[in-house]
Amino acid sequence: MGISLSVAAESWPIAGSFTISRGSRTEARVVVATLHLNGATGRGECVPYPRYGESVEGVVALIEAQAAWLASQPSARQARLGLLDRLKPGAARNALDCALWDLEAKQANIPVWQLAGLSAPADAVTAYTLSLGTPDSMREAAQKAAHRPLLKVKLGGAGDPERIAAVREGAPDSSLIVDANEAWTDDLLEPCLAACRAAGVELIEQPLPAGKDDALTGLDAGILLCADESVHDRSTLDALATRYQAINIKLDKTGGLTEAIAMADAADARGLKLMIGCMVGTSLAMAPALLLAGKAQYVDLDGPLLLAKDRDPGLSFSGSRISPALAALWG
């Protein structure tokens, strides 16, 4: 008997709402894959993302379609390696890949970080995200979060210089990174960059739309430019070198921890700095990504902090500091 599979779609309320340039939402819709083999259980969570043509229903169906193949697999490791050829990078592969890592660890009674040849996980400081809003509302949000060491500011295009200035006014001592989510245009680029420089912003994620970012080629912005929507797996790295100095690795884009580890090493070999990021999900989605925090200059795994309620057990947060996951959660 091989690996058995069950799949569940879940909704987790967000505390208030979460707004970026593409819209607002009040819940995180996630998909959880649960695998069983010889009395051991492994779980993995993914967050389907419409920007990449994904839906909860489509991802559930894609995962369920792997049930017969998984039942033919004699081990979690063999299935995990075979999965890279069966599914393209994306949310469905992420849930299964992480569940297979968890299953292998539970069977071997060895933590995932050791199985993967990674350094022992340690506490990490995560960015805390401020949703897109008016300058006044973002100043108020920044004031409430001003005790946090690193804030990530969601931007939306026109009016962003005023938003950036307002956030800096509200949180004068926090380090700032910003995420435009593809919302800037070539005309907005320089005034927005100038505002970021004036506010002491350290990093800008995806200022221009993926595939329409030629204006970044050879640009000396004076701030790290970080690819997000433009980068998915290792095959997309080489095209970025002249436009970006950093990349945001998200497991829902890479299709799991297996590819994310390889991608982190490949990025480092190219001199690219790393951010380890996330979609808005529960601690089950953050735990695998947290294993890569030691390789990253920036960690953005605040998904559970944005929820009204997290899993139990979940990750332990002390302010913006995250502790490694307990085995009861994952890994």
What is the pLDDT, as a whole number, of residue 236? Answer: 86
Model confidence band, residue 49 (pLDDT cutoffs 50, 70, 90):
very high
Same domain for 140 and 235 = yes
Task: Please choose, from the candidates 296, 303, 310, the residue with its C-alpha nearest in 3D space to the C-alpha of residue 320.
Answer: 303
| Structural tokens at position 140 | 């108020």
Q: Does any domain span residue 296? A: yes
Are residue 284 and residue 137 in the same domain, yes or no?
Answer: yes
In angstroms, rounded to a whole number, what is the distance separating the alpha carbons of residues 41 and 5?
A: 10
Q: Which residues make Cβ contacts (< 8 Å) with residue 68, sequence separation at least 6? A: none
Query: For residue 316, what are the domain limits?
Result: 124-322
Give the CATH number, domain containing residue 132. Answer: 3.20.20.120
pLDDT classification of 21: cutoffs 50, 70, 90: low
> What is the H or E stretch that residue 249 is in?
strand 246-249
Please give the tally of structural domains in the chain: 2
* Domain assignment present for 201: yes
Could you tell me if 161 and 236 lie in one domain?
Answer: yes
Query: Which pLDDT score is estimated for 28?
Result: 94
- Contact indicator for 105, 136 with CB cutoff of 8 Å: no
Catalytic residues: 154, 250
Closest CA to 6 of 57, 70, 75: 70
Measured distance CA(112)–CA(102) in Å, rounded: 7
CATH code of the domain containing 26: 3.30.390.10
Q: Are residues 105 and 140 in the same domain?
A: no
Per-residue pLDDT, averaged over 117-143, amounts to 96
- Contact yes or no for 207/227 (Cβ under 8 A): no
What pTM was computed for the model?
Answer: 0.95
Please check whether residues 142 and 209 belong to one and the same domain: yes
